[in-house]
Copies of this chain bind each other. A is one copy, B any other.
């Protein structure tokens, strides 16, 4: 499992045996390193093993990256960036009641949990290594958390301004993280405990959407206490 340097590996077009252009080899190394870091953690990961996963030798990695820490940061950077394009497109394109948009965002977050194990593991990695890499924590804060909070916060403020949500919904500073947290924790529990022992994802999503909309929607009339107009 870790002896032959260049052999069968990440199958694709041509197994790319030798002398690849840096633009082609770099992503191979990054992908292999992501696997290695995800499986063994930062300290537990071995440069030689990461190299073997990529079908190269350790020396070559040092030709592309100055050291282990830099490789780690490069892996993180290469993976976190594209996550938000989807949500941002969604918000930009959406027209309709803010409640529907908010519900869509929450459900998108839960769906994200179901898909792409890699991203989940990466989050765990960032969390675990945050104190050893302060700039990594700063990066996560700027590129992931702040962006997510801003996304939700804008929807909240827009809904409050339009009168669709209760005015308290404009308190995005406190509310936005509260709305994001359950989806993230669902992801974490899935990682820790596995699908069968972790809290039920579908039930969480249902209860989450219901709770949020109940708690935020302006009561339509003075009579009924804001029934959630049967959402999905």
Contact = CB atoms under 8 A, between A and B. Distances in A.
Nearest to A185: B181
Contact of A178 (B130, B204, B219): B204
Contact of A128 (B128, B137, B200): B128
A212 B210 contact: no
Q: How large is the interface on A (under 10, 10 to 19, 20 to 34, 35 or more residues)?
A: 35 or more
The binding surface of chain A is classed by DSSP as: helix
Contact of A207 (B39, B175, B192, B223): B175
Question: Taking the full assembly, how many copies of this chain does it contain?
Answer: 2
Interface-centre pick from A44, A207, A222, A226 (highest chain B CB count, 10 A): A207
Contact of A130 (B174, B192, B211, B226): B192
B192 A140 contact: yes
Given A145-B189, A174-B200, A127 B130 contact: no
A5 interface: no
Contacts of A40: 43
Contact of A211 (B131, B178, B204, B226): B178
Contacts of A178: 182, 204, 207-208, 211
A166 B124 CA distance: 36
A88 interface: no
The 4 closest A-B pairs by CB, nearest first: A219-B225, A174-B203, A174-B207, A215-B215
7 contacts: A39-B131, A41-B43, A130-B191, A141-B192, A180-B185, A214-B214, A219-B226
